Amino acid sequence: MKKLTYTLLITFITVSAWSQSEQIFTFNLFNQLNFNPAVAGSKEVLDAGLIYRNQWWSGIEGAPRTANLYAHMPFAKNTSGIGLNMIYDKIGLDNIFSIGGNYAYRIRFNNKNTLSLGLGARFENARSDWSEANSAVNAGDPGIGNDVGSKSTFNVGPGVYFYNRRFYLGASIPRMLANSLYTDRGQFGGDVNTYFFQGGLDLPLSQNVDLLPNIQVRYNPNSPFDLDLNLNVRFYDALMIGAAYRLDDSIDGLVVYQLKNGLRLGLAMDFTLSELNNATTGSFEIMLGYTFPCEDCVIKNLRYF
C-alpha cells in the first residue's frame, strides 16, 4: 500500500505541475539549451552532452528520473546557431518524451560581445500507464483500471542571450503556447508560462584559478518563486568544484573535470532541505559531454558557457 501511495502522490504532483514548469537540473550551466534557444552556437564549436538526473532516489518510489541529450553548433559563418534537445522523463505512472529544435541569430559587437536571439520549437508526448498503479495492489483494483493514456502537444518559445568570454546574461520563455499535456487549451497566454532568467561570470583569481558564480531564476505566476544560486571554482581550466542552493529545496555539490581533448565528466548531488528529507536524502546527476575540435578556429580555453 505504501508503494501505491507514493506512486499516486508523484503522479498527482506531475499532473498538477507539469504544465507550469520545466525540468530542473543542477548542471544548468552546461545544458542551457534546454530552456533558452538563444544559447545555440554560443560555444563557437559543436558541443554535445548527456545529463541523467535521478530525483529523490532514496526512499520515494516513482520519483522523477530524467535524461537530457543536447547538441548545438554555429553555422553560416558563425552568424547563426542551431541546436537539438531531447528529454525523457519517467515520473510515477507517466513517461514523457520531448524533442526540440533551436535556432539563434547572432549579432557580434567588436568581436568580443555577442547578442543572440533565439527561437525553439518542441514536440512533446506523455503516456500514462495506470496498470503500474494496479500492480501495486495485491488483488488489483478495478477502480484504478489498466488504461494507457497518451497525449501529444507542440510548443514554441523565444530567448535572448548576451555573452562574452567572461560574462553571460539570458532570458527565455521555453513554452509560449498555453497548452500542456494535461489540458486542451490552445490559445496564447501567460497563465502557464515559466520565465527563465540566468546570468554568470568568469572571474580570474590567479593565473590558474577562476571563480564562476551564476544564478538561474524561474518565475511562474502559478508557482512559488524559484531560483538556483551557484558558486564554482575552476582550477587549470580543467577541474571545477562547486556548491549551489536551490530555494527552499536543497543544497547541492558538484564536480566537473574537462579534459583538453574536449571530453567532459561531471557528478552532482542534491541534499534535500524541505519536508521531503523525511523520506529521501536527495537527488543526483551524472554528466557526460564533449566539445568537438575546430579546425578553422583556435580556442585557447575550453569554455564553460
* CA 83/CA 97 separation, integer angstroms: 17
| DSSP H or E stretch at residue 7 | helix 2-17
DSSP per residue, 24-91: --TTTTT-GGGT-GGGTTTTSS-EEEEEEEETTTTT-TT--EEEEEEEEEEETTTTEEEEEEEEEEEE
Is residue 100 domain-resident?
yes
**How would you label 59-96 residue by residue, b for 16+ Cβ within 10 Å and e otherwise?**
ebbbbbbbbbbbbbbbeeeeebbbbbbbbebbbbbbbb
* Model pLDDT for residues 167-209, shown as the tens digit of each residue: 999 999 998 887 666 554 444 445 568 899 999 999 999 999 9
Query: Is there a domain that residue 66 lies in?
Result: yes
Beta bridge partners of 249: none
Please give the residue range of the domain that contains residue 96: 2-126+153-291
d(CA 49, CA 33): 11
pLDDT tens across 62-100, in order?
788 999 999 999 999 889 999 999 999 998 888 999 999
- Between the two ends of the chain, the Cα-to-Cα distance in Å is 46
Cα–Cα distance measured from residue 22 to residue 255, given in angstroms and rounded to the nearest whole number: 24
Of the two residues 13 and 302, the one the predictor is more confident about is 302
Residue 305 and residue 288: Cα distance in Å, rounded?
A: 16
> Does residue 48 contact residue 289 with C-beta atoms inside 8 Å?
yes
Q: In the prediction, which pLDDT does 120 show? A: 97
Helix, coil or strand: residue 100: strand
Beta bridge mates, 106? 116
- Domain assignment present for 250: yes
In a domain, 141, yes or no: no
| Structural domain includes residue 297 | no
Q: Can you read off the three cell numbers belonging to residue 131? A: 496498470
Confidence at 10, pLDDT banded by 50, 70, 90: very low
Contact, 212 vs 301, CB < 8 A? no
Strands (E), 130-262: 148-164, 167-172, 195-201, 203-204, 209-219, 226-235, 239-246, 250-258
Residues making up the chain, counted from first to last: 305
Q: What pLDDT shows up at residue 21?
A: 58
Q: What is the mean pLDDT of the chain?
A: 84
- Residue 169 belongs to a domain: yes
What is the number of structural domains in the chain? 1
Q: Which of 5-9, 177-181, 216-220, 295-299 has the lowest mean pLDDT?
A: 5-9
Q: What is the pLDDT of residues 113-155, one digit of tens each?
A: 999 999 999 999 988 876 665 555 555 555 555 566 788 989 9
Q: Classify residue 144: in a domain, yes or no.
A: no
| pLDDT tens-digit readout, 19-67 | 445 789 999 999 999 999 999 999 999 999 999 999 877 767 778 899 9
In a domain, residue 138? The reply is: no
Q: Are 242 and 232 spatial neighbours (Cβ–Cβ below 8 Å)? A: yes
283 or 110: which leads in pLDDT: 283
All residues at 6 or more sequence positions from 121 whose CB lies less than 8 Å from its CB, including other chains? 100, 101, 102, 154, 155, 156
Do residues 194 and 22 make contact, with C-beta atoms less than 8 angstroms apart? yes
Contact between 278 and 263 under an 8 Å Cβ cutoff? The reply is no
What pLDDT was estimated at residue 188? 44
CATH number where 265 lies:
2.40.160.40
